[in-house]
Amino acid sequence: MKNKNIILLIILLHSVITSFKIDPLKEFRITGFAQGTNYHITYYASEYKISKEHTDSILQSLDSSLSIYKPYSIISQFNLSEKGIQIDTHLQNVIKRSLEIYKTSKGISDITVYPLMQLWGFGTKSSDKDPSTADIQNTLLCIGSNKIHLKKNYLSKDKPCTKIDVNGIAQGYSVDIVAGYFDKMGIENYIVEIGGEIKVRGKNQSTNKNFRIGIESPSENAADKPIINKILQIESGAVTTSGNYRKFHESNGKKISHLMDPKTGYPFQNEMISVTVWAKDAITADGYDNALMGMDITKSFQFLKKHKELEAYFIYHDKNGAIKDTATNGFTRLMLPKK
Cα torsion 258, 175, 58, 97: sign = negative
- Write the burial class of residue 79 (CB in 10 Å: 0-12 exposed, 13-18 middle, 19+ buried): buried
Of 7-11, 102-106, 310-314, which gets the smallest average pLDDT? 7-11
Q: Stretch 38-59: mean pLDDT, rounded? A: 95
Give per-residue pLDDT as tens, 190-233. 999 999 999 999 999 989 999 999 987 765 554 555 666 789 99
**Is 315 inside any structural domain?**
yes
CA distances (Å), origin 305, targets 95, 240, 313, 329: 25, 19, 14, 11
* Torsion region of 64: left, alpha or beta (phi above 0 gives left; psi -120 to 50 gives alpha): alpha
Crossing angle (nearest 10°) for helices 282-293 and 167-184: 160
- Distance CA(110)–CA(116), nearest Å, equals 11
CA angle 287, 290, 291 (to 5 degrees): 85
pLDDT of residue 122: 83
Q: 317: closest CA among 273, 263, 264?
A: 273
**Contact, 247 vs 238, CB < 8 A?**
no
Domain containing residue 203: 26-332
Q: DSSP 3-state assignment of 137?
A: helix
- Distance CA(10)–CA(201), nearest Å, equals 38
**Is 120 inside any structural domain?**
yes
**Is 8 inside any structural domain?**
no
* Strand 209-217, strand 26-34: pairing: unpaired
**Contact, 262 vs 165, CB < 8 A?**
no
- Distance CA(274)–CA(337), nearest Å, equals 21
- Residue 250: pLDDT band (50, 70, 90) is low
- Residue 244: pLDDT band (50, 70, 90) is confident
CA angle 32, 93, 294 (to 5 degrees): 80
**Is 104 inside any structural domain?**
yes
63: pLDDT strictly greater than 60: yes
**Is 7 inside any structural domain?**
no
Taking every pair of Cα atoms in the chain, the longest distance, rounded to a whole number of angstroms, is 101
19: pLDDT strictly greater than 80: no
Q: Provide the number of structural domains found in the chain.
A: 1
Is the pTM above the cut of 0.85? yes
- Write the burial class of residue 254 (CB in 10 Å: 0-12 exposed, 13-18 middle, 19+ buried): exposed
**Contact, 32 vs 56, CB < 8 A?**
yes
9: pLDDT strictly greater than 90: no
61: pLDDT strictly greater than 50: yes
- Distance CA(177)–CA(197), nearest Å, equals 13
- CATH number of the structural domain spanning residue 279: 3.10.520.10
Q: Stretch 100-129: mean pLDDT, rounded? A: 89
**Is 69 inside any structural domain?**
yes
**Is 337 inside any structural domain?**
no
**Is 53 inside any structural domain?**
yes
- Residue 254: pLDDT band (50, 70, 90) is low
- Distance CA(254)–CA(219), nearest Å, equals 18
Looking at the chain, the number of H-run helices and the number of E-run strands are 10, 16
245: pLDDT strictly greater than 70: no
Q: Convert 154-167 to b/e letters by CB count within 10 Å (16 or more is b).
A: ebebeeebbbbbbb
Crossing angle (nearest 10°) for helices 89-104 and 282-293: 40
CA distances (Å), origin 73, targets 84, 198, 234: 14, 24, 35
Which amino acid, 116? Answer: L
- The mean pLDDT value of the chain amounts to 88
256: pLDDT strictly greater than 70: no
